[in-house]
C-alpha cells in the first residue's frame, strides 16, 4: 500500500508535463495513452491493451495484470495546414489586407504539442486491481500572425483538459471483468484575436461620426484576449470478455462539464468607445460541454504470432453546440456567442500485432475518423475535417519486466475543405484548407 501511495502522488504531481496538443481524434479529442496502441491506429483500444494503459482505454482489462505495471512516455503532435484564400473582405465589403499568414508561410504550422503517457496499475486484492493515470483527453493549439487575413477571427487558441483517472477493476469470472473509474479534470482555455474597431464603429455608430473620429474599417485595430479555467468531474466504465485468444471490450466515458471562469482583456480601445465601457476589462464565464464516448473493440489471436483488432467508436459531439462568453460589469456587452453546431461522429479502426521474435513485436493499422465539423461552420480556430489514418509501431522487449514501444501515425485529411467564415468584427474570409498531421509516441513499460 505504501508503494501505491507513492505512485499516486507521482502521477498527480506530474500534471506539469501535460501541454496543450493539437487536435487529433475528431476535432480536439485525444486518445494517445499508449505507443503500441497508436502503432495500430488505436484499433482494439478497448480489447487489446493488457497493460496499465487500460486505465484509460477500458478499466476492465486491468484484471489481466498479475503484478504491478507502470507506463511512462509522451506523444508529440504536429499538424500542418495550407489555407488558400478565395476572397477576404472587411465589414464594409472592401478587400481585407493581409496574407494567408500562419507561422510557417504557405504550409502553416497550425499547432503542435506534447502530452504525457503516464499510468500505473497493481493488484490490491484477489480478483481486484487498482489503477491511476494522468491523461489529456482533449487539447488544441492553433496560432496565426498579426498580418493574416484571419486576424479578426482568430489569432491564438489554446484549450487543454488534463485528467486524473483513478480506477478499480474486478474479475467477476474466469472470462468476464468489469471496471469503473472517476475523472477529475481541469480545463484551461485562452482565445485571442484582433478587433477591427473601425468596422465595429460603422456597425454601431453613424458612419459620419466614425469618419470624423478617424474610424473606418481596417483603420484602428485592437486586441482581444479571454482566458480562464475550471475543474470538472465525470466517470468511465468498461466490461471485458476474454476467452481462448478472443477479447471483446465495451467502454463508456461520460461527458465533462466545465464552467470556465477567467477574465477578458481589450487593448487599444478607441476613445469613442471608452466611455461606454463596451470594451472594458472584466471577469468572464463560459460553459464548455465535452462529449461522451462509447467504444466497442475486439481482438483475435491467430496462431502464436498474430493478433488482429478492430474498434468502432461513437462520440456524441452534439454537446458542443456553441460557446457563449458572458462578461461581468463594468463591461456592457453582456455576452458574445460563437456557433459550432458539432455533429456526432464515428471512428472505425483495423489493426494487427505481429510477434516477430521473443524480443520484437510489430504493430500496424488503418482507421477512418469522422470530423464533427460541418462545412458551413468551419472556422480558423480549428479547420477540422475527416481523417484517414495509417499507423506503424514496434515494441522491443528488453527483459521479462521491461519494454520500449514506439508508434507513428500519419493522418490524411480532406484537401480543399471549404471555409466561409464571418468573424465578430464583420470581416468575411472564404477559401479552402488542406491539412495533414503526424503523431509520434514513445513509451517505457516496467512490470514488478
- In this predicted structure, which of 102-106, 145-149, 192-196 has the lowest mean pLDDT? 102-106
Closest alpha carbon to 130 in 63, 185, 85: 63
Q: How many CB atoms lie within 10 A of CB 8?
A: 15
Confidence band of 337 (pLDDT split at 50, 70, 90): confident
- Cα separation, 161 vs 57, whole angstroms: 17
Chain segment 399-426, per-residue pLDDT in tens: 999 999 999 999 998 888 899 998 888 8
Q: For residue range 254-289, what is the model confidence (pLDDT) as tens digits? A: 999 999 999 999 999 999 888 889 899 999 999 999
Residue 355: strand pairing partners: 361
End-to-end CA separation in angstroms for the chain: 14
For each of the domains in the chain, give its residue range(s) and CATH number, in order of start. Answer: 2-447 (2.40.160.60)
pLDDT tier at 3 (50, 70, 90 boundaries)?
Answer: very low
Q: How confident is the model at residue 101 (pLDDT cuts 50, 70, 90)?
A: low
Residue 175 has a pLDDT of 96
Here the cell at position 157 is 487558441
Please report which confidence band the pLDDT of residue 25 belongs to, taking 50, 70 and 90 as the band edges: low
pLDDT of res. 120: 97
235 pLDDT above the threshold of 90: yes
Comparing 7 with 125, which gets the higher pLDDT?
A: 125
Burial (Cβ within 10 Å: 0-12, 13-18, ≥19) of residue 99: middle
Residue among 173, 53, 189 at smallest CA distance from 120: 53
In terms of Cβ atoms closer than 10 Å to its own Cβ (0-12, 13-18, 19+), residue 296 is middle
Residue 21: per-residue pLDDT = 45
On the question of pLDDT at 106 being above 80, the answer is no
pLDDT, mean over the chain: 89
Q: What pLDDT, on the 0 to 100 scale, is given for residue 334? A: 82
What are the helix and strand counts (H, E) for the chain?
A: 6, 19
Mean pLDDT of 427-438: 89
**Nearest by Cα to 441 from 396, 373, 392, 403:** 392
Would you place residue 24 in the very low, low, confident or very high pLDDT band (cuts 50, 70, 90)? low
pLDDT at 314: 97
Residue 19 pLDDT grade (very low, low, confident, very high; cuts 50, 70, 90): very low
pTM assigned to the model: 0.89
What is residue 110's predicted lDDT score, i.e. its pLDDT? 42
User: What string of DSSP letters covers 151-166?
Assistant: TTT-SEEEEEEEEEEE
Unique residue bearing C-alpha cell 487529433: 24
Amino acid at each position: 500500500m505504501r508503494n501505491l501511495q507513492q505512485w499516486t502522488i507521482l502521477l498527480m504531481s506530474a500534471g506539469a508535463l501535460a501541454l496543450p496538443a493539437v487536435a487529433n481524434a475528431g476535432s480536439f479529442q485525444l486518445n494517445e495513452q499508449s505507443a503500441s496502441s497508436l502503432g495500430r491506429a488505436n484499433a482494439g483500444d478497448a480489447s487489446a491493451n493488457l497493460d496499465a494503459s487500460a486505465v484509460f482505454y477500458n478499466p476492465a482489462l486491468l484484471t489481466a495484470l498479475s503484478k504491478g505495471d507502470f507506463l511512462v512516455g509522451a506523444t508529440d503532435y504536429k499538424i500542418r495546414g495550407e489555407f488558400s484564400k478565395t476572397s477576404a473582405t472587411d465589414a464594409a465589403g472592401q478587400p481585407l489586407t493581409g496574407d494567408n499568414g500562419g507561422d510557417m508561410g504557405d504550409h502553416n504550422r497550425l499547432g503542435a504539442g506534447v502530452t504525457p503517457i503516464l499510468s500505473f496499475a497493481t493488484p490490491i486484492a484477489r480478483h481486484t486491481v487498482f489503477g491511476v493515470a494522468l491523461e489529456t483527453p482533449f487539447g488544441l493549439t492553433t496560432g496565426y500572425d498579426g498580418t493574416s487575413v484571419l486576424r479578426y477571427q482568430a489569432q491564438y487558441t489554446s484549450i487543454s483538459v488534463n485528467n486524473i483517472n483513478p480506477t478499480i477493476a474486478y474479475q467477476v469470472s474466469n472470462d468476464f471483468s468489469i471496471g469503473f473509474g472517476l475523472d477529475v479534470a481541469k480545463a484551461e482555455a485562452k482565445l485571442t484575436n484582433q478587433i477591427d474597431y473601425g468596422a465595429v464603429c460603422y456597425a454601431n455608430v453613424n458612419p459620419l461620426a466614425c469618419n470624423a473620429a478617424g474610424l473606418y474599417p481596417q483603420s484602428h485595430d485592437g486586441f482581444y484576449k479571454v482566458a480562464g479555467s475550471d475543474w470538472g468531474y465525470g466517470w468511465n466504465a468498461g466490461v471485458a470478455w476474454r476467452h481462448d485468444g478472443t477479447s471483446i471490450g465495451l467502454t463508456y466515458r461520460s461527458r465533462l462539464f466545465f464552467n470556465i471562469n477567467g477574465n477578458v482583456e481589450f487593448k487599444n480601445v478607441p476613445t469613442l468607445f471608452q466611455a461606454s465601457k463596451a470594451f472594458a476589462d472584466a471577469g468572464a464565464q463560459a460553459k464548455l460541454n465535452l462529449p461522451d464516448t462509447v467504444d466497442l473493440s475486439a481482438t483475435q489471436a491467430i496462431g502464436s504470432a498474430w493478433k488482429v483488432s478492430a474498434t468502432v467508436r461513437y462520440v456524441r459531439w452534439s454537446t458542443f453546440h456553441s460557446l457563449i462568453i458572458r462578461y461581468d460589469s463594468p463591461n456592457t456587452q453582456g455576452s458574445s456567442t460563437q456557433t459550432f453546431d458539432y455533429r456526432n461522429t464515428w471512428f472505425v479502426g483495423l489493426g494487427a500485432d505481429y510477434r516477430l521474435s521473443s524480443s520484437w513485436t510489430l504493430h500496424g493499422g488503418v482507421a477512418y475518423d469522422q470530423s464533427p465539423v460541418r462545412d458551413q461552420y468551419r472556422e480558423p480556430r480549428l479547420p477540422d475535417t475527416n481523417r484517414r489514418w495509417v499507423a506503424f509501431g514496434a515494441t522491443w522487449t528488453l527483459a521479462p519486466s521491461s519494454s520500449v514501444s514506439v508508434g507513428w501515425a500519419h493522418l490524411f485529411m480532406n484537401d480543399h475543405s471549404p471555409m466561409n467564415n464571418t468573424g465578430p468584427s464583420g470581416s468575411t474570409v472564404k477559401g479552402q484548407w488542406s491539412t495533414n498531421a503526424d503523431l509520434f509516441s514513445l513509451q517505457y513499460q516496467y512490470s514488478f
